[in-house]
Structure 1
Amino acid sequence: MATTQVIIVGGGFSGTALAIHLARTSSSRLLITVVEPRASLGGGVAYSTQEPAHRINVPASRMQLSGEEQGAFDRWYRQQPECSLDSVAHCDDGSVYPQRSLFGRYLAEQFAGAAQAYPHITLRHVQASAVAWEGEQLLLSNGETLQGDVLALAISHPPPSLPRALQPFSAHPALIANPWQHGVLDAIVPESSVAIIGTGLSMADVVASLGTRQHRGPLIAFSRRGQLSRDNLSGEWPEWTLAPQDVSSARQWLQHIRAEVVRAAEHNLPWQRVLDQVRVQGQAIWQSLPLREQQRFVRHLRSWWDVHRYRIAPQVSAVINARRQQGNLKVLAARLSEISDLGNQLQITLRTRDGASEAHRLDHLIVTTGPGHEALTASQPLLQSLSQQGLIRADRLGFGIDVDSQSHTLNLSGQPNARLFVVGPAARARFGELMGLPQVADHAADVAKHILQELQIAHAERCPPSAL
């Protein structure tokens, strides 16, 4: 019997989880190839960082490949030498927040374990980048060609997009357009003046990284609303049950959630428990909203949702709070109104929400406005190839790639491609809540199920039962 071949492009969490779920659930022979340029699988953008200040944003007990494995990573981490060596990871309530690279290592071990556990499955990692898709063949940067029955796109977040006002200064020595590039923060000396555009999770990571480099100079973080990511909840708290609600607008959902926060407070429960339940129902809520309401959410509420939903580890929060108390970190609700070249420095003028202007002379301006998802389909050669062939299209919200309810990509005419799938955050315009790890893990399991169903259909079409 011929071996069916599945190709997964991208070996971060989404791609690695998809490969493992396929191995666990397929009863047929499969060759699963993960195409990933990094030396190890599982890391991706999020978990390949070697920055000691970069920690997972939730307790280790909430990180897993599936709901049935709750606590598996926590148990694994507590057996690693890093657990005892990294005293900062431990919180007073007994929870641990490991460095992110440890979760990447855990995923790589899970992949290796799956490769050994299922003899009818062949799991392999090809260290290369995908260049183009031609027919049923994937062309790679190393010159190799892979044949596949199914192609799954586990595309990572694209690089940050440079705000228009900064584009003329893209080559300026004071501008750090992508702080995740290896070593770029090492050039920042402790006394230098720094501004960060963006105040979300990426900004929090940068502040924590600067802390490990003993930076103590003036630091400004600004964004249009000046909102910081909120702290995670510590300790054990009862679950909260949302009151039933059947509404079809973003505004009504906002009013309902606010009322639920008030109701929870009357029971001495914090707002985080309410938002956790909204997150659990997030995909159903999102898919119940018509497109115009989804667009309103993106325009008016998304930034507020993000800072409450995507919270920061207590260790990172402590660094930010300490710097604000010391007076050398200022967070502003402001926009960039002017920027000029001062040799190796930049001069910026910020216009605050109350109309005041502030001028700052900077040694470094760091961009943390987030990945450029609106340009995802043009961000790398494979996606350009698929776009040019009309096999994929951008979604209407600018989040990533348009897919159907089974995560098949949609072509230019809106028809699903039976053998082409998207797994992970690039599909979130359809599914909604698809950035947090539990939801991405569940999505990977669902996509694995849909892939196996498609392969069964294809096999039945090739080999119909003999007539009686």
Structure 2
Amino acid sequence: MLVVQLARLSGDLPYDCDVHLVEPRPVPGPGLAYTARRPEYLLNVRSQFLSAFPDQPDHFQNWLRLTSPEICQQEFCSRQSYGRYLQQLVSQVLEWPSLNGFRFTWHNQAAQSVQVHPTSQVATVQLQDGTRVPSEYVVLALGNFPPSPPASRNTDYLHHANYHGNPWAQGALRNIGTHDTVLLIGTGLTAIDVLLGLRTDGHQGVVTAVSGHGRWPAAHKFQEAAYPDFYADELRGADTVLAVLHIIRRHIRAAEAQGINWRTVLDAIRPHLGSIWAAWPQLEQARFLRHLAGIWSVLRHRSPPQNAATVQEMMRTGQLQQEIGRVKDIVPMTNNLRVTIQKGQEPPRQLMARHVITCTGPLLDYSRIQEPVVGSLRESGHLQPDTLHLGIRTDAHGALLDARGQASAVLFTLGPSRRPDFFESTAVPELREQAVALATELGKRLRAPAVGA
């Protein structure tokens, strides 16, 4: 999205600038979330909210009408359709220079390191094949990383053929037999996708889903009535979690009295979620993460109604079973895996399954991410993980902060890595706004006397 927004920058003079897109996947654009060629994987946001361009809200819907035969049930399209949309946008940028003077080059490989030169405002990006790309600006658009191992007591299970630590890895679930038992760790959107994939592939074995709270994402529900935005009048400046919670609950009760669903109330304040988060001192942010982040994820990141109905049907027939508890240990047992879970202070219990799949969501803690580029910048002091383990410390423009809190003139980031500033920093409406803002900021800096790329 940043590449596409750079190509749209306007100005009186051309930028005369080279942009290098480093992306090791087979095609640039879809990324991890939208690469899977599985029509059962649905977007969890209605198509009218997924345009890549904030100023053209109908862009994705118009693209669907012109290019895709897909009929989106209840306006929830497949993720592979959105992947094609993004791929087409990026390919158009890569095929020829933009009218504003940007020239785009795709390197189909991974970056190994980023070295920032101490005496000049330039960095060198070294690619996997040894190519070195000198750059005045480097943007880390790294997306999400695979989940961390769910149990650390004994890590032998990590090498077992039937343990699947990353359900999105190529061919990750292909060795699951039709009648094999499966245990899912997590009950969020990733777990729902795995269930849908198994069901489509004809899987008939029992699936057990384990989570600490036992809640599945709430289902979307269409409601024509809108709810007024009450951020400016009541939420602006509210600096405690409890104060915000009281205000939102009061409005939910008022909405229900008018026949308006609670979902509409939360949607009314969505544009302000970053401001609400930023108004909390770090102590309050930590309190929210401890006590409310789990239920917030269930209510905020909802599932398409047809997906939620599938989960309920599988539970009704007994194919899907649910256990509440935290995973304490996973032990390989030849063909099976033995999983020990514990709920609160209750005695531990042991579950047995042929396959175990981690569906706990991405690893956010940049002090633990081992990606070469992240590691090299962290070791050199240019990348600072935040203290709440949500992402990277940055300034208001997305420039990385060093150990002294100084903003880099070279290194920037956007997307999930900016969760410390926005908390909500993974969905398309937030990502496209960040892409527009960062493209505009880089455009301003490129107009400065030392112009480069």
* TM-score of the aligned structures, taking structure 2 as reference length: 0.91
Gaps of 5+ in 1: 1-16, 463-468
Letter of the structure 2 residue corresponding to residue 32 of structure 1: V
3-state SS of the aligned residue for 2:166? coil
Q: Deviations over 1:7-48 (max 9, x none)?
A: xxxxxxxxxx11111121153222121110012121111111
Displacement of 1:232 in angstroms is: 1.4
Deviation at 1:241, TM superposition (A): 2.5
Letter in 1 for 2:284: E
Is 1:284 the equivalent of 2:272? Answer: no
* Contact 1:399 1:429 (8 Å CA) reproduced: yes
Whether 1:157 aligns to 2:169 is no
Alignment of 1:183-332 (within 5 A): 183-242=171-230, 244-245=234-235, 246-332=237-323
Residues 377 and 383 in structure 1, CA contact (< 8 A), matched pair in contact too = no
Structure 1 residues 273, 72: closer, same or farther in 2, change over 3 A? same
* Deviation by residue 1:426-451 (Cα, 9 ceiling, x = unmatched): 01201232121101110111111121
The counterpart of 1:90, out of the listed 64, 67, 73, is: 73
**Structure 1 residues 193, 423: CA separation in 2 closer, same or farther (over 3 Å shift)?**
same
**Letter of the structure 2 residue corresponding to residue 379 of structure 1:** Q
Q: Quote the residue 1:124 is aligned against.
A: 105
Q: Is the contact made by 1:424 and 1:443 (CA closer than 8 Å) also made in structure 2?
A: yes
For residue 6 of structure 2, the aligned residue among 8, 22, 28 is 22
Separation in structure 1 between the aligned mates of residue 107 and residue 137 of structure 2, nearest angstrom: 16
Aligned equivalents of 1:175, 1:401: Cα separation in 2: 30
Task: Measure how far apart 1:277 and its partner are.
Answer: 2.0
Pair 1:166–1:252, CA change in 2 (3 A): farther
Report how far residue 119 of structure 1 moved: 5.6
1:103 to 53, 70, 82: 82
Would you say the 8 A contact 1:394–1:402 is kept in 2?
A: yes
Whole-angstrom distance in 2 between the partners of 1:349 and 1:381: 33
Hey, what's the Cα distance between the residues in 2 that align with 1:227 and 1:240? Answer: 29
> What RMSD in Å do the two structures reach over aligned CA positions?
2.1
Residue pair 1:377, 1:387 contacting (<8 A) in 2 also: no
Match of 1:420? Answer: 411
The residue number in structure 1 matching 2:381 is 390
Partner residue, 1:14: none
Which has the larger displacement, 361-370 or 328-337?
Answer: 328-337
**Aligned with 2:360 (options 360, 369, 378):** 369
Partner-residue secondary structure (3-state), 2:351? strand
- In 2, the alpha carbon distance for the partners of 1:174 and 1:375 equals 28
Superposition deviation, residue 61 in structure 1: 1.4
Work out which of the residue numbers 343, 352, 361 in structure 1 matches 2:334: 343
Structure 1 residue 197: deviation in Å? 0.7
Distance 1:379 1:339 in 2: 23
Q: Are 2:229 and 2:269, in contact at CA under 8 Å, matched by a contact in 1? A: no
Matched, 1:451 2:438: no
**Correspondence for 2:120:** none
**In the alignment, which residue of structure 2 is the partner of 1:3?**
none
Distance 2:222 2:410 in 1: 44
Unaligned runs of 5+ in 2: 118-122
Residues 215, 447 of structure 1: alpha-carbon distance in 2 compared, 3 angstrom cutoff: same
CA distance in 2, matches of 1:173, 1:151: 38
AA at the equivalent of 2:342: R
**Residues 229 and 312, structure 1, Cα contact 8 Å, conserved in 2:** yes
CA shift, 1:317, in A, is: 1.7
Q: 1:74: how far off? A: 1.5
Please, which moves more after superposition, 252-261 or 165-174? 165-174
- 1:35, 1:129 within 8 Å by CA — same for their partners in 2? yes
Which residue of the partner structure matches residue 49 of structure 1? Answer: 36
Shift of 1:155: 1.0
Tell me how many residue pairs correspond in the alignment: 437
Distance 2:157 2:351 in 1: 16
Task: Please state how far the C-alpha of 1:377 moved relative to its aligned partner.
Answer: 6.5
Residue 64 (1) aligns with residue 64 (2): no
TM-aligned CA deviation for residue 360 of structure 1: 2.7
Deviation at 1:306, TM superposition (A): 0.9
For 1:90, the aligned partner's letter is Q
Cα separation, 2, equivalents of 1:143 and 1:99: 38
Once the two structures are superposed, what CA deviation does each residue of 1:362-392 show, in whole Å capped at 9, x if it has no partner?
1111111111111466421111111222111
Q: Any idea what SS the aligned residue of 1:208 has?
A: helix
Give the match for residue 9 of structure 1.
none
Q: CA deviation at 1:60?
A: 1.3
Shift of 1:202: 1.0
Identity percentage over the alignment?
27
1:31 alignment partner in structure 2: 18
Give secondary structure in 1 for the equivalent of 2:4. helix
- Indicate the SS of the match to 2:362: coil
Aligned to 1:13: none
